[in-house]
Amino acid sequence: MSNKQKITIGMPIEEILEDAGIDMVGHKELILHNDDTNSFEWAVTSIIQVCSHSLQVAMALATQAHQTGTAALLEGKETELAELAKEFKTRGFNATVE
């Protein structure tokens, strides 16, 4: 019999990581905030260049930010995400680490 944990659709990521023994203490999210200044195309391009996401993922994240006001672009260590947030800010975006 296998000791593998079953993952189901809709299962919280925190639960999956905890079951896998992955410690998320100190991990944060890089949040992109929607604005009325930057174009959708510039948002997609910046997400691809800064986060190394694919075109499809970048478009989905830009759409989410546009429709809901925010999008979580990445999860990781606060110090690493802070550098990426600075890069977004140099491109004219409001990005925070939360």
In a domain, 18, yes or no: no
Whether 90 shows a pLDDT value over 90: the answer reads yes
Residue 20 lies in a domain: no
- Domain span at residue 83 reads 26-97
Give me the percent of the chain exceeding a pLDDT of 70: 82
Residue 53 lies in a domain: yes
Question: If pLDDT is split at 50, 70 and 90, which confidence band does 56 have?
Answer: very high
**Structural domain includes residue 92:** yes
Position 29 pLDDT exceeds 80: yes
Q: Which of 81, 80, 92 is nearest to 72 (CA)?
A: 81
CA distances to 22, 23, 35, 54 from 51, in Å = 22, 22, 19, 9
71 within domain boundaries: yes
The pLDDT value given to residue 1: 37
Residues 7 and 20 sit within 8 Å (Cβ to Cβ): no
DSSP the chain: ---PPP--TT--HHHHHHHTT---TTEEEEEEEP-SSS-HHHHHHHHHHHH---HHHHHHHHHHHHHHSEEEEEEEEHHHHHHHHHHHHHTT-EEEE-
Question: How many domains is the chain built from?
Answer: 1
- Average confidence (pLDDT) over 75-91: 95
Q: Across the chain, what does the average pLDDT equal? A: 88
Task: Read off the CATH number of the domain in which 83 is found.
Answer: 3.30.1390.10
Answer whether residue 90 is part of any domain: yes
Residue 4 placed within a domain: no
pLDDT band at 68 (very low <50, low <70, confident <90, very high): very high
